[in-house]
Amino acid sequence: MLNNQFLQKALEYLDLNSSKVEQPRRFVDFDVTTSFAHCTPNLTSDEVFGYAFLERLIQLSNGELNVLACDYDGTVPEKEKPSALTLETLLRYTVGYEKRSAEAYLPFYFNRETPLCMQPFNQKDILRNLDQPWNQFIKSSGFRKEDRPYVNERFGQIISAVRNCVKDSQSTLEFLERLRKEFLAMAGICISGKPESENGRLFAQKLEEDLEAGFPFWRMDLPDNFAAKHKSNNRTYLFWGVSQTGKLLPVKFEPNPDRFEFNKYGENIVIPAEESPQAMAERVLLPTVSLLNYIVLSPARKEISSSRTRRIHLAGQFMAGKEGYARDLVPYFNKTPGFDSVSLVCTEYDGSLVVKDKQNKYIGFGSVFPQFGREGIKLSLEGVVPQFLRRGVVYHG
């Protein structure tokens, strides 16, 4: 369930007695930034929880927050959990004379080695594969006869959402943004995020401002364990290059003069370090997680546009929990005071909205929504119904 104590702490940290920037144009004009979600077709339970947390935070502030909600789109599909190559479902069908059981799935025709932000859009192929006997699959998937009408209706909403979003989109990112917004609306949540790469100009502006103020981001001060793990200062992996096929290429940092280099089909691409923010905005370079952490957690280095001097970054357990990898970064990035300060806040996802069987847990919207339904999701977020349902058990409301 949503933790009101943590919501209140987040509000208390923010300086809501001062006026917000009416038209935010700089990264540091936003009171709240987020990174708890990934921009995949499988909206996950922790992301539903995170957006419910963010929506409640906005409500408690009476709308007095500027929010930049981002869904990370820099990973390759098969590294996501669940895999972004298909829509996760719990549906099965029988094949062959032996009546073997096989998984029913919906493919999105993504390239395995291409980051989500650069995926081609195979609109016709996705639409063609939507026309499957989903009701028959539901019948073969172990749901009780009296529960099947609920599952049919709910899964029908999912397929309709995918169909409409595919038809109305011109690119993969537009499709994913629309679909995730629609799924969140089906869960009763009225806010959603934008693909992170679409904010590249804002991120670049933050880096350029820091550079102008004498803070070159490629020489960021880091804890030893983080620097060693992410190689953020030694022959830097702050950026990825991109091949013509969309494959990520490692980018090295070289000094004297400071520059970033990568090899693209035998050609050595050299970008002066001070020009790298612009190259990032143009998607010649893609930021790694190390650089994104610096952008969202470091203070403003140039005078800010309002009297508000506190910002928060809202993230999930992996980044911001008690053992979150980024907790040690905040004091390092804020060691030299800036014009404001940043606090890392966790959504405190509690493991709810999960479907389980003997071996696995399922958290994709295509698995969770057919069994929980809109009302079940709402009540689970409020702590009224159980955190999880067994596979095949359907909440009726």
- Residue-wise pLDDT for 137-190, tens only, equals 999 898 999 999 999 999 999 999 999 999 999 999 999 999 999 999 999 999
What's the pLDDT at 117? Answer: 93
Is 165 inside any structural domain? yes
Reported as a pLDDT band with limits 50, 70 and 90, residue 98 is very low
The DSSP output letter for 374 is H
Q: What is the mean pLDDT of residues 190-210?
A: 96
Residue 114 is predicted with a pLDDT of: 92
Please check whether residue 290 lies inside any domain of the structure.
no
**pLDDT tens digit sequence for 256-275:** 999 999 998 889 999 999 99
pLDDT at 99 over 90: no
Contact 372, 390 (CB under 8 A): no
Least confident span in 97-101, 234-238, 272-276, 293-297:
97-101
Strands of the 341-346 sheet, one edge to the other: 67-68, 32-34, 310-315, 341-346
Is the pLDDT at 300 greater than 80, yes or no?
A: yes
Instruction: Please check the confidence at residue 107 and state whether its pLDDT lies above 50.
Output: yes
* pLDDT of 232 above 50: no
The predicted structure's pLDDT at residue 105 = 82
Rounded Cα–Cα distance for residues 77 and 108 (Å): 10
Domain total for the chain?
A: 1
In a domain, 240, yes or no: no
Whether residue 363 is predicted with pLDDT greater than 90 in this model: the reply is yes
Is residue 248 one of the residues assigned to a domain? no
Distance CA(259)–CA(274), nearest Å, equals 8
- Quote the CA–CA distance of 16 and 26 in Å, as a whole number: 19
- Cβ 334 vs Cβ 298: under 8 Å: yes
For residues 306-320, average pLDDT:
93
Q: pLDDT above 90 covers what percent of the chain? A: 72
230 pLDDT above the threshold of 70: no
- For residue 281, tell me if it sits in a domain: no
Give the pLDDT confidence score for residue 233 in this predicted structure: 45
Average pLDDT, the chain: 91
Domain containing 391 equals 1-220+300-397
CA-CA distance, 196 to 68, in Å (whole number)? 10
pTM above 0.85, yes or no: yes
Residue 93 has pLDDT above 80, yes or no: no
